[in-house]
Amino acid sequence: MAVTTAQSTFREDLLNGKTAIVTGASRGIGAAIAHRLCETGANVVICSRSADTITQVANTLQDSGHTVQAIVADISQKADVETLIKKTIAQFAQIDILVNNAGITRDMLLMRLKDEDWDAVLQTNLTGTMYCTRAVLRPMIRQRSGRIINISSVIGLMGNAGQANYAAAKAGILGLTKATAKEVGARGITVNAIAPGFITTDMTAQIPEQSQEQILEMIPLRGFGDPEDVADAVCFLASDAARYITGQTLQVDGGMVM
């Protein structure tokens, strides 16, 4: 593959003193985002449904000298989201950045898709993103500043056979992003989305080699991205360098969707 992992070029003090929440941070893209935000000076709250894995991520980051708090939360449950926000404010007094990364898949051709698998994906990926976004708006409006970054997917832009539920949820996130951006822009809050393409994670590792080769033919840069590529995009959108950008979708996909 032509694309290789790049070292972060962001200053260590880029987000110094800021407090960020990253959902779904127990592995893959979410863990990479948490790591990058820590490297740029932010205090980071990470959450996941898995107590063991989220604690491991937090311990690793704390051992490197970063300020990290792990909170077990299922973002598909409104009560869990409310607790997440309350604990973050209690610990750090403010929330400057929200990264809505948590998501699940329940892949199946639409004609065979079970109602419960449709509901589960929409509830976590779309409604959960709404719960988290809605919960941080009041404190962000009070401080008249904030960065909300929603992790969508190129699947939400182009669709994919066997992923009607996932595509619908990720496309819904793009609409949610634009609507929220229009509602809160006057209060100094930006809301943007990132649409990753094929990123090297546990999920893409399960794709058969022949299918991987077919996918690579669709990517002009001829390689899968790394989680850090998405994390760097998050750091940019969370920084003052992106202060005049809102309601936009940044594709991190090697040119796959144009």
Per-residue pLDDT reduced to its tens digit, 193-218: 999 999 998 777 778 889 889 999 99
At which residue do the structure tokens 């973002």 appear?
Answer: 75
Per-residue pLDDT reduced to its tens digit, 130-187: 999 999 999 999 999 999 999 999 999 999 999 999 999 999 999 999 999 999 999 9
pLDDT > 90: percent of the chain: 90
Instruction: Give the pLDDT band of residue 9 (cuts 50, 70, 90).
Output: low
Question: How far apart (Å, rounded) are the C-alpha atoms in residues 30 and 46?
Answer: 9
Correct CATH for 19-250 of 3.60.20.10, 3.40.50.720, 2.40.110.10, 3.40.50.1170: 3.40.50.720
At which residue do the structure tokens 């994919």 appear?
Answer: 160
Cα separation of the two ends of the chain: 20
- For residue 218, the Cα-to-chain-centroid distance in whole angstroms is 24
Question: How far apart (Å, rounded) are the C-alpha atoms in residues 177 and 191?
Answer: 6
Sign of the alpha-carbon dihedral angle for 37, 41, 45, 50: positive
Domain segments of the chain as ranges: 19-250
0.85 exceeded by the pTM? yes
Token code pair at residue 201: 């994670």
**Which residues are known catalytic residues?**
166
